[in-house]
Structure 1
């Protein structure tokens, strides 16, 4: 008999409207800006640029601090006397092409089979993915679970349904394209056993090099991941700070997850939200070294919706946790500002900043006037760029990637694209705040034989049974 548990919706769900205090705060900011431009537009622009420069300096110093902190690696915990029961969840939607591959990758997990349970959570209308899951040979511990029809149609809603069936002491989440390190579960279980107040562990996500030619977006995406998961998050974990979790390969203590009400079904970055909710309830966060390989999104047609969802979700999470900022306490609020807040502001500022500097120089040159170099702005921008380059270089080295000088020169163009995603995210937040922008995934080119063999094994076992 499957044990069930009722999971309450988080009190700070993204479905709720902004509080009166938040509305008044934004109205005050808008009123000050309007008054400033009416009274003295030039002085207001100067103050805004100065504030942006200060923010860039703080962000650069922050990257330096977390990079230094990340140099100290976590000690390996000894294996527990008894391995805890582990629940593995994967919420799939329109993933028929990669479902056999995911099953193959989950089969490789090196963990006592009798201590494992897993659910492939599918939507009732997704017949293609269901057919692919049923046609593929699965280990005995891995089951297909159909989420009931309902709204919103999001990954966290499906995960919450699986949570009512889960019986594990620990739970982890994987995406359709994931290839986790086989030792990842054992490493996480050992850490949880050694640290009773540890609520969650994040595994590093690494973009798997493709055998085909890798484009500009894929390379920059891989370096961005490397900076985040190999440098920033480990550094924050060493400093004892909360951080936004990745959308996959986070391992959570079931007691802690149930205590905070599961995932927020209305937040399109439920992972980022969960990390701060765990912290607000007194749990700590950490990282493990065993990585999960992922495939890059591909072209701009896939990258833009994915990045739009991330920024939109960051805005939702920011709104949720600034309703009662005292709940995060000083260190938690600092982490919120330096992660989600910095991501939102930088996405909004990259393209305008580059456009302002470029236009100031080009207009002066076209007019035959030698433009006065904005030394302060250039120095601040250079400081921020060098800090980002350094973080990417360190992360790339740890992830086994080559960070070339051409990648460094191409980075500002990638950052400018984030401003496009910001505008799109702002529009989507207003028009469709809880709609999940799905990212299609391609099959891993290195797993054709293993995937095919699982399907053939299923067919063979069916013939033998007949």
Structure 2
């Protein structure tokens, strides 16, 4: 059993949160039983204001200039020790490709430690890393048997062996830009000790199919527009699950990762902020692949939403929400996105039913404010998406922007699964399978094309 943080995701809801949830459910039941027009209109207006505000924030973020983030490169002798942690489970098929991607990193080998963290029951991946001669500095660690069997638990095992001043996390499918470590090291050297983490942008490799295309657009909006804007505004934010670069000292000061949180990246961003640390972003990207089918996408997205539910519950009772900046970030990055994930599908279905019913005089017409909400929300995301495509170095394409409105309702399918798992299987980790990239895809060329930073 992994050591739990004093107030982490192992404690799903506090007594006060359980009481508050019970009161809310009772009120909703009473509303459903004794509904009045004024009450329904009040909820309708609250819903409208919340979603309009969420969309408006994305619009403001799209027009917020990125802070200049260049830093003078450090000579080799001034570079700090760097530890790369790569937690893997059932990833034997991509072992060779992962090693090749990490050996492309431009960093002195005598200052680089690469820890491959594996699970005790994953004999296939252990064999894959035992077969080839690993490059100098690579080390395979096997986490002792225990629960929960999660990525953050494996990261904590590796953190105990890490001797670098800086630590970065990569995933099995990651192809980081060769200059990413040098950029992060230079930024840390230039900043004060309160800068605890730098998030590199994650960019999805081109794939013209609908789901990967929408996934790439979603990532672009998050990593090229929203997170840089939050950093510019001085707000904390949930980190991405990979390519986050930490000061090892700050990471240990907050107790490492929460082994019970299935989005440990989101959680640790707020825990660092609660201890007075800052987060920021860098420009050199990491390329990733997208889930190509709903069968792969749905459990991955459900795990993310469940982890955000865990993070919302933990930090709603923590110190972050007691500060104005923390409360604003908490609402913008956790509360509103979670509400959107759960309500997009029902809203979309309701609008379609209202529209269809009104055409045959069975139902009243859809209120104008709801159509305004849909079109305003889509317009904001489309403008943010166009800006994100430009910053990521992607070709400007309107079709993904038009398709986003059909992608949003899929979130509610995953959100329903996430809510169920939050109750019955809160620490279960839905594994996302990865396959090797096809031989005709040139990673060096893709990295060169997408690795430039745009304003």
Q: Give TM-score, length-normalised by structure 2.
A: 0.92
Q: Given the superposition, is the C-alpha separation of residues 100 and 277 from structure 1 closer, same or farther in structure 2, using an over 3 Å criterion?
A: same
Aligned to 2:367: 374
Q: Which among 299, 305, 312 is matched to residue 299 of structure 2?
A: 305
Q: Give the equivalent residue in structure 2 for 1:255.
A: 249
How far residue 91 of structure 1 moved from its aligned partner, in angstroms, is 0.5
Structure 2 residue 147 is the aligned partner of structure 1 residue 154: no
Which runs of 5 or more structure 1 residues have no equivalent in the other structure?
1-6, 451-466
In the alignment, the residues of structure 1 paired with residue 125 and residue 392 of structure 2 have an alpha-carbon distance, to the nearest angstrom, of: 32
User: Are the counterparts in 1 of residues 152 and 257 from structure 2 also a CA contact under 8 Å?
Assistant: yes
Maintained 8 Å contact 2:117/2:154: yes
Matching residue within 214, 234, 242 for 2:236: 242
Which residue number in structure 1 is paired with residue 452 of structure 2? Answer: none
Tell me by how many angstroms 1:328 deviates: 5.5
User: 1:216 aligned to 2:210?
Assistant: yes
Shift of 1:38: 3.1
Pair 1:136 & 2:129 matched: no
Kindly indicate whether the alpha-carbon contact (under 8 Å) linking 2:321 and 2:330 is maintained by their aligned counterparts in 1. Answer: no
Counterpart for residue 206 of structure 1: 203
The match for 2:47 among 47, 52, 66 is 52
Deviates more, 1:137-146 or 1:170-179: 137-146
Q: Hey, what does 2:386 align to over in structure 1?
A: 393
The one of 160, 182, 189 equivalent to 2:185 is: 189
Partner residue, 2:161 = 165
Partners of 1:414 and 1:171 in 2: CA distance: 35
Who is 2:279 aligned against? 285
Gapped regions of structure 2 (runs ≥ 5): 444-455
Change (3 A) 1:446 1:279: farther
Contact 1:12 1:321 (C-alpha < 8 Å) held by counterparts:
no
- In structure 1, how many angstroms separate the alpha carbons of the residues matched to 2:357 and 2:365? 12
State the Cα distance separating 1:193 from its structure 2 match.
0.9
Between stretches 374-383 and 82-91, larger displacement belongs to 374-383
Tell me by how many angstroms 1:286 deviates.
0.4
Residue 404 of structure 1: how far off its partner (Å): 3.0
Whole-Å separation in 1 of the counterparts to 2:440 and 2:326: 41
Q: Which moved more, 1:41-50 or 1:337-346?
A: 41-50
1:174 to 170, 177, 182: 170
Report the Cα distance in structure 1 between the residues aligned to 2:338 and 2:156, rounded to whole angstroms: 27
Q: CA deviation at 1:367?
A: 3.3
The answer to whether the Cα contact below 8 Å between 2:214 and 2:400 also exists between their aligned partners in 1 is yes
SS state at 2:35 partner: helix
Partner in structure 2 of residue 433 of structure 1: 426
Q: How far apart, CA to CA, are the structure 1 residues paired with 2:264 and 2:385?
A: 25
Give per-residue Cα distances to partners, 1:297-317, cap 9 Å, x unaligned. 110010000000000000000
Provide the rounded CA distance (Å) in 1 between the counterparts of 2:375 and 2:227: 24
Paired residues in the alignment total 440
| Deviation at residue 12 of structure 1 after TM alignment | 2.3
What is the Cα deviation at residue 156 of structure 1?
0.5
Match of 1:383 among 362, 376, 381: 376
1:72-130 deviations in Å (ceiling 9; x for gaps): 33233442771111000001100000011000001011011111111111111111111
2:331 counterpart of 1:334: no
**Structure 2 residue aligned with 1:65:** 60
The Cα of 1:365 is off from its aligned counterpart by: 0.9
Deviation of 1:43 after TM superposition, in Å, equals 3.4
Per mean C-alpha deviation after superposition, the further-off stretch among 414-423 and 126-135 is 126-135
CA gap of 1:247–1:328, structure 2 versus 1, over 3 A, is farther
1:417 to 410, 423, 435: 410
Secondary structure of residue in 1 paired with 2:135: coil
The Cα offsets for residues 306-336 of structure 1, whole Å up to 9 and x where unpaired, read as: 0000000000000000112456521012111
Q: 2:132 and 2:370 mapped to 1: Cα distance? A: 58
SS of residue matched to 1:69: coil
Q: 1:423 to 1:16 in 2, by over 3 A?
A: same
Candidates 20, 24, 31, aligned match of 2:15: 20
| Contact in 1 for aligned 2:52/2:373 (Cα 8 Å) | yes
In the alignment, structure 1 residue 294 sits paired with structure 2 residue 288: yes
Shift in alpha-carbon separation, 1:183–1:323, aligned structure 2, 3 A: same
Q: CA deviation at 1:216?
A: 0.8
SS in 2 for 1:98: helix
Q: Is the 8 A contact 2:59 2:381 kept in 1?
A: no
For 1:258-289, what per-residue CA distance to the aligned partner results, in whole angstroms no more than 9, with x for missing partners? 00000000000000001000011011000010
Q: Which moved more, 1:393-402 or 1:295-304?
A: 393-402
Secondary structure at 1:200's aligned position in 2? strand
Give the root-mean-square deviation of aligned CA atoms.
2.0
